[in-house]
Amino acid sequence: MASEIKTIWITGASSGIGAALARLLAQEGHRLVLSGRNTEKLQRVQGQCESGENVAILPMDLGASETMPALAQKAWELFGGIDILINNAGISQRSLISDTQMAVYRQLIEVNYLGTVALTKALLPYFLERGKGSFVTVTSLMGKFGSPLRSGYCGAKHALHGFFDVLRMEHQKDGIEVCLICPGFVQTEIAFNALTGDGTAQDKQDKATEAGVPPEEFAKRMWKAIQKGKWEAYIGGRETSGIWLKRFFPKLLHRVVLRSQVV
């Protein structure tokens, strides 16, 4: 991707990866649309961004798929177009399959998968009419291999890989670019907000998350991967080796993951 100024829509921009990415891209002078459920937190991030007049706020609930067409139109009109949509919003999970209610699985699919698909589909016609556009979706290493206590989260993230791989196949000829960013452990609030078996938040940090990559460093590595036009990027620490173990030594990966988990 060229280095010219872009208009970039970031979901899940109120904290963590989304907020760090917003601050980084604002420093480079890009025009930003920041979305998330918490308007107050979005305003705080907006205030942390340089060139605040080029940073707009557009509150949204990814779980409300029916609102996406109207939101896409509004986002497009804010700066006269969107160059890149960064699908970053989502929610995690920390519960055994045997303890997890079906309502929790439905929520994980509705937010992490169907909401992201609905937003992407709502923006796609604008990209097709203009003849170019980029979809960047933050999935997870859990979209490539599994881990205990995250069954619903893994399922939703695996589904995103299937959908966006096909989106690239169908519309690369139309000028549409697709990039999948797969984080490992990043120092965000994802563990605090993770759903437990009855749908309540875990409300505590994981040691691995606490020791993960700082969001600012992650944002730099993520933006570099986007600029290079990568189809997939695996960003984290030692846990990224699971990608290659899954491909070549799946039984070894199984043992390694179980040793690192308390189930």
Separation of alpha carbons 105 and 82, rounded Å: 32
Tell me which amino acid residue 255 is.
R
DSSP 252: H
Q: Give me the catalytic one of 105, 113, 126, 153.
A: 153
Contact 257, 147 (CB under 8 A): yes
153 is catalytic: yes
**What are the backbone dihedrals phi and psi of residue 109, each rounded to the nearest 5 degrees, phi first?**
-70, -40
Residue length of the chain: 263
In a 10 Å sphere around its CB, with 0-12 CB exposed, 13-18 middle and 19+ buried, how is residue 121 labelled?
middle
Residues with catalytic function: 153
